[in-house]
Amino acid sequence: MRALARIVAEADGRGGTRLARLRGEPPLQLRHTPDGSATATVHLIGSAAGPLGGDDLRIEIEVGEGAALCVRSVAASIALPGRDGTASRMTVTATVAAGGELRWLPEQLVAAAGCRHQATSTVELSGGARLWWREELICGRHDERPGDAVVSTAVDYDGGPLLRQSLTIGPGTPGWDGPAVLGGARATGSLLLVDPHSPPRPPAVLADTAVRMPLTGPATLITATGPDAHTLRRYLDM
């Protein structure tokens, strides 16, 4: 299955944000869920199981100058194997103009047994843009070994690289659950905070398996692992 979802958020001239475009295709359905604030909130609703092996799913996000957008999902996404072993793909691309703000806060990605999944995110921030970008990966369902998954993220700020990170898990990657990578943890994730109006937070150990690190530029990265999704979310909650 191939599907494209697109969100375009613009300042409405009255201190709020309007959705100039909100378009989804099954299984990527989008719903505007206003909360009375100046931020436009959109929920991603999966109208079918998956992503399944062979799926090629894309989400495109554009936030204009002075606009504020928050994207969430109503449930975790479970990457499942296809009949022929073909990989599934989820690609997210986002651009945020100067003075714009994007909060990408979906629920977790679960790499189910037998899956082959590639998740790729690319974000381009103009100078003066703000970003909250959370990613969480769960290694298999309850009492299940995970399939193969690759999660890659690239973020640029004001024309220069800000973050490049990639994680590969699963039986096709020797040592992925060893002490040099996840150390046996079943949940891992990160939260990137970009705010040119506030100085990056100082480095800190937040817990035994969670750290906060300033990046070059107006950004802070929190990375964590945990035994389960609930524990992980405590480190990365907004």
Question: What are the residue boundaries of the structural domains of the chain, listed by start?
Answer: 2-184
DSSP class of residue 106 equals -
Identity of the amino acid at 227: P
Answer for the pair 223, 210: CB distance below 8 angstroms, yes or no. yes
Q: What is the pLDDT of residues 84-96, one digit of tens each?
A: 889 999 999 999 9
- Asked if the model's pLDDT at residue 109 lies above 90, the reply is yes
Confidence bin at 238 (pLDDT 50/70/90): low
- The whole-model pTM stands at 0.95
Q: Which residues of 30-66 are buried (b: 16+ CB within 10 A; e: fewer)?
A: beeeeeeeebbbbbbebeeebbbbbbbbbbbbbbbeb
Answer for the pair 86, 33: CB distance below 8 angstroms, yes or no. no
Strands lying side by side in the sheet with 88-96: 17-23, 2-11, 56-63, 88-96, 116-125, 148-157, 160-169
Q: What is the pLDDT of residues 145-170, one digit of tens each?
A: 999 999 999 999 999 999 999 999 99
DSSP class of residue 80 equals B
Determine the 3-state secondary structure of 167 from DSSP: strand
Q: Quick one: which of 111, 100, 141, 81 has its CA closest to 10?
A: 100
The C-alpha atoms of residue 38 and residue 11 are separated, in whole angstroms, by 9
